[in-house]
Amino acid sequence: MPEKEKIIHSEYSELMQKSYIDYAMSVIVSRALPDIRDGLKPVQRRTLYDMYELGIRSDKPYRKSARIVGDTMGKYHPHGDSSIYDCLVVMAQDFKKEIPLVDGHGNFGTIEGDGAAAMRYTEARLSKITEEAFLADLDKDVVDFEPNFDETEKEPTVLPVRIPNFLVNGSDGIAVGMATSTPPHNLGEVIDAEIAYLNNPDITTEELMRYMPGPDFPTGGIIVNKDDLREIYETGTGKVRIRGRVTEEKAKNGHTNVVITEIPYTMIGSGIGKFLSDVAQLQETHVTSDIVDITNQSSKEGIRIVIELRKGADVENFKNLLYTKTRLEDTFGVNMLAIRGGKPETLNLKSILEESVRFQFEINRRKYTNLLGKEQKKREIQEGLIQACNIIDLIIEVIRGSKTRQQAKDCLTSGKVTGITFRSRESRVMAQNLSFTEAQADAILDMRLYRLIGLEIDQLTKEHEQTVANIFKYEDILEQRGSMEKVIEKDLLSYKKNYASERKTDIINAGPAVVVVKKEEPVDVYFVMDRFGYAKTIDQSTFDRNQETVLSENRYVIKIRNDAKVCLFTDTGLMHTVKVSDLPLGKLRDKGVPVDNVSNYSSKNETIILVVSQSDINLCRFLFVTKKAMMKIVSGGEFDVVKRTIQATSLQEGDSVMKVAILSDQVNVVLQTQKGYFIKFPMDQIPEKKKNAVGVRGMKLTEDDELEEVYFTKNLETTTIRYKDKDVDLNHLKLSSRDGRGTKIRV
């Protein structure tokens, strides 16, 4: 009989909450955030350890990246090959890391955003500094190991990294509800700062910044908010403003070339292409007219973007324009978030160095404890062999007189002589006094005869003296904090000497870039917008030569000053303004720009009903008519505003603006519905109201009917319209009062 099933009732919300928290913590701790001790995410740590296990050292041949990725995924990181290969690629890119941890061979991508070749084509091996500062001493029990995901392998919980890698190479990652973003720093400066903290744990952040003044980006550039860095290092969060490095060169034709040789760190990747596009857009949108040509001459030797300017251009003003209108000046958001003690925590500079120093003490304590144990075992063996050499004749007699190895070993360790044949009684008595340790006895029995040579005995004595010296040294390191500090400092200085490089990023204080805008001389132009919503301006001469074409091909054509604004009334009851200066001054066949791009108007959600020049708006009166027959007149002064978007009229739920008309000498208004009802009444029955009013009802609509068209008539003027293949003379319609049902036209 099967056991009776037990149904467990649980609250769905509680179950979901617990499951989500478990998932979030798994992503935070096991995927996205680095450990403060080694500055590595799990995928980075596992990839480096796998390369170490495979023996892909800096002095060995390169191995296929696919081999490394497959082995890492199969043994340690079962989360897909793309994440592992992406990690491998980034660790090999010198434009992203202060010290590349992997030596890549093949196409590992470029600073301009070109991706790396497929993993089957590229090869890699460990960098030398990775071997020396990240993976050394793994065989000395310096870190803990834990089972892998299927408990078939062991992997280190953290790598024994000897430098503050969290600061040196920086880190970025997005977890659940939090993200880390730490800029890279100069290796030599970080080591100097750590040594300063090591010697004085009470050192202030300001004093630390004398050794490590700020981030050092692999792409160089200039940090321009030096005064903000102290607060960033004290809180662990903030924003670093970076500018690219710009120089000037004289071209052969007398023009000036603005040359960009270093870019902000945030522009790595597709940012360079976007920058070139943005610079070209400055010329196309007439923000500047100084650009003659743009060329990207970047190569393996470095970044070189050349912008040729016209003669007489204000170079400094143009540089400031690049800083304000493109990403040549950008912001790097700092959030030094890492895993400390199994929990995510935002750390300041002192906390990071404190954790690094604490980790160095832990690594070295375990290392020298391990070395001390090995030296003590070695001393035990050496002392046993030296003692045995002094009584070698007795040892040989014991061995020759024993019937088994165990019998000889028992004699050497405890003086048991039972069953052993000796040549003399004195030898038996001496043998009974032997008291070697187990390890010494095994070493004596395994000793080869050549060790009895005089030179070998002298060598053994020297080795013993060295072993005793090592034991004294290791005990001193473990017992005296000052001795341990000297060891750590010595290691750090050796890494600085062998691997540190000059600072690439300058740090200064610079105010915001200010662009002096030259005011253009006000002239008359024509605003034109086609039925697809593309707008531009054309000059007077172009309009005069092509007047018929312009009027026939465009929905709106307005004569306006180039320093004025255009007002767009839409069916949603909004009015958007567009600066004429934001529109390109084009030729007849130029396409223009979508009006969405230069205003808050959205062609997806609203439709333009009327376009009018804001300079003329004060002289106008506007009639608003909605599909539900709500009407009002508004004075144009209501719309002479500075804001880019305002509410031009209030609407009832489900209603929309059907008509916005400029009033002049209209006498009567005619409303026509979709079902063919017409009503005609005098204009003076429509009240003038404020722009935020709904208005009054112009016509009573039948169910499921709405306004379709609005017409105007004047006295003694024939107005005939075409309605469903029938001519309708509006002057023959009965003049009634507003808010009637109207007359149905039979067709």
The residue type at 169: N
- Tokens found for residue 159: 């790598």
- Tokens found for residue 449: 């005869």
- Tokens found for residue 322: 């690049």
- The contacts of residue 548 (CB under 8 Å, 6+ apart) are none
- Tokens found for residue 570: 């839409």
**Helical pair 349-390 and 438-446, crossing angle rounded to 10 deg:** 60
The residue type at 379: R
| pLDDT at site 377 | 92
Residue 615: count of CB within 10 angstroms of its CB: 16
| pLDDT at site 219 | 94
CA dist., res. 405 & res. 1, Å (int): 62
Residue-level length of the chain: 747
Give all strands of the β-sheet with 291-296 in edge-to-edge order.
245-250, 256-262, 305-309, 291-296
CA dist., res. 468 & res. 372, Å (int): 10
Cα 57 to chain centroid, rounded: 30
| pLDDT at site 1 | 46
CA dist., res. 603 & res. 594, Å (int): 9
| pLDDT at site 265 | 94
If DSSP codes are grouped into helix, strand and coil, which group holds residue 235? helix
Taking every pair of Cα atoms in the chain, the longest distance, rounded to a whole number of angstroms, is: 156
CA dist., res. 225 & res. 128, Å (int): 35
Backbone angles phi, psi at 512, to 5 degrees: -60, 145
Which residues, given as ranges, of the chain have pLDDT below 70? 1-4, 19-31, 451-452, 454-455, 517-520, 716-718, 747
Task: List C-alpha distances in Å: 729 to 454, 664, 714, 745.
Answer: 135, 21, 13, 11
> Residue 448 burial by CB count (10 A; 0-12/13-18/19+): exposed, middle or buried?
exposed
| pLDDT at site 449 | 72
Q: Which of 41, 129, 51, 43 is nearest to 82 (CA)?
A: 43
**Helical pair 481-499 and 349-390, crossing angle rounded to 10 deg:** 110
* Rounded (to 5) percent helix, strand, coil in the chain: 40, 25, 40
Taking only the tens place, the pLDDT of each residue in 378-388 is 999 988 888 88
Question: What is the DSSP track for 110-146?
Answer: -TTSPPPPPTTT-EEEE-HHHHHHTSTTGGGT-S-EE
If DSSP codes are grouped into helix, strand and coil, which group holds residue 180? strand
| pLDDT at site 200 | 95
Compute the C-alpha angle 212/217/218, nearest 5°. Answer: 125
| pLDDT at site 89 | 96
Q: Which of 612, 613, 650 is nearest to 628 (CA)?
A: 650
Task: List C-alpha distances in Å: 209 to 301, 349, 469, 531, 573.
Answer: 32, 9, 40, 60, 57
Backbone angles phi, psi at 233, to 5 degrees: -75, -20
Active-site annotation, residues:
121
Do residues 496 and 188 lie in contact, with contact meaning Cβ atoms separated by under 8 Å? yes
The residue type at 449: L
726 DSSP β-pair partners: 723
Q: Which of 603, 607, 721, 613 is nearest to 672 (CA)?
A: 721
